[in-house]
Structure 1
Amino acid sequence: MTPSTEAPGWALFTAAEPDLAALVEARFGAYRHHVLATLRRDGSPRTTGLEVRFLGGELWLGMMPGSLKALDLRRDPRFALQANPGGGTGMGGGDVRISGRAVEVEDAETKSAYVKEVEPPQPFHLFRTEPTEVVRTYVEDETYLVSQVWKPGEPVRTLRRT
């Protein structure tokens, strides 16, 4: 799959901050299932499990047809995605979160390319993400809680607290 040129997607983040992007992708790659937060019709949050894919310079969200999370995103594209923290207390690579907009892809060629890579159950909803914030939080030297925060058009901000 080739990166989209329609709007700023994951490729924009990867180009701006390749090292942080690699850490975030590795953290999501460590586990299969993650947690997606969407907004219900009444504005309250909904959290659900989700598998994600990084393909062709994009972060993709695939969903079952008519799923509540897909209907939420169709109505309001804002989302937050939390990487699975794993078992125990170890979080190698830190805690990572991505917030942004999810844009449904209905283009047959793009969906066909995704199917060739992922082989999802048919039919399905496919969303391409447009990150508005990427956050990595980790402990440094057993002393500092460090947060790295990226937003489009800004350099990564690093915050440390004891």
Structure 2
Amino acid sequence: MSWGEVEATEPEFTRTVRERFGTFRHHVLATLRADGSPRVSGLEAEFRLGELWLGGMPGARKSDDLLRDQRFALHANPGPGTDMHGGDVRIAGRAEWVDDPDTRLRFVEEVDPPTPFDLFRVRITEIVRIWMDDQEMVIETWRPDGRGLRVLRRGNDTPVREQSGP
């Protein structure tokens, strides 16, 4: 599912996720190497034109990984200290290589990236946000399974409770 499609179904949740990613410029991307082992790389992610985009320099290992196996996980930069204002946010999915000249031109007009560049459009399979609400840990999970946003709450002295929506 595209970022815009998720935004349309969960506007408040995606606004929070997008703000969290917007707090810092650089984030952490996990891809799969040819032997199946994980690779972690720094990356800038862009929310533009109703999509989430991943980019990189041509020939970068992360690009090679994504061209071979589209699966990835993207973790928002937690920032300095330990408070992680806005929570711990992760997006997983598939990164589709973009070579369409018109799409690349619209992206360049919107973002003005250094050139040349590799460009991938994200298809989201999961978004997770974990944060603290008073003394409870709140785990928000969205997947494109039609169930919408799932929210689990867990306190030190209480069992896990699930609710629909925030």
Amino acid at match of 1:144: E
2:25 to 19, 32, 45: 32
DSSP-derived class of the 2:139 partner? strand
After TM superposition, the structure 1 = structure 2 runs for residues 139-154 of structure 1, keeping only pairs within 5 Å, are: 139-141=132-134, 143-152=135-144, 153-154=146-147
Amino acid at match of 1:146: V
What residue in structure 2 maps to residue 111 of structure 1?
Answer: 104
2:66 to 45, 67, 73: 73
Query: Following the alignment from structure 2 to structure 1, what is the Cα–Cα distance between the partners of residues 86 and 49?
Result: 23
Segments of 4+ in structure 1 off by > 3 A? none
Deviation at 1:160, TM superposition (A): 1.2
Deviation at 1:119, TM superposition (A): 1.4
Deviation at 1:34, TM superposition (A): 0.2
TM-score relative to the length of structure 1 = 0.93
Q: Which one is further off, 84-93 or 43-52?
A: 84-93
What residue in structure 2 maps to residue 54 of structure 1?
Answer: 47
Q: Which one is further off, 111-120 or 126-135?
A: 111-120
TM-score relative to the length of structure 2 = 0.91
Deviation at 1:154, TM superposition (A): 2.1
Percent of residue pairs bearing the same amino acid type: 56
Query: Following the alignment from structure 2 to structure 1, what is the Cα–Cα distance between the partners of residues 58 and 123?
Result: 21
DSSP-derived class of the 1:36 partner? strand
The reply on whether 1:158 has 2:154 as its aligned counterpart is no
Higher relative contact order (CA 8 A, sep 6+): 1
Amino acid at match of 1:9: S
How big is the alpha-carbon RMSD for the aligned residues of Structure 1 and Structure 2? 0.8
Query: Following the alignment from structure 1 to structure 2, what is the Cα–Cα distance between the partners of residues 9 and 40?
Result: 25
What residue in structure 1 maps to residue 158 of structure 2?
Answer: none
Higher Rg:
2
Query: Following the alignment from structure 2 to structure 1, what is the Cα–Cα distance between the partners of residues 64 and 128?
Result: 26
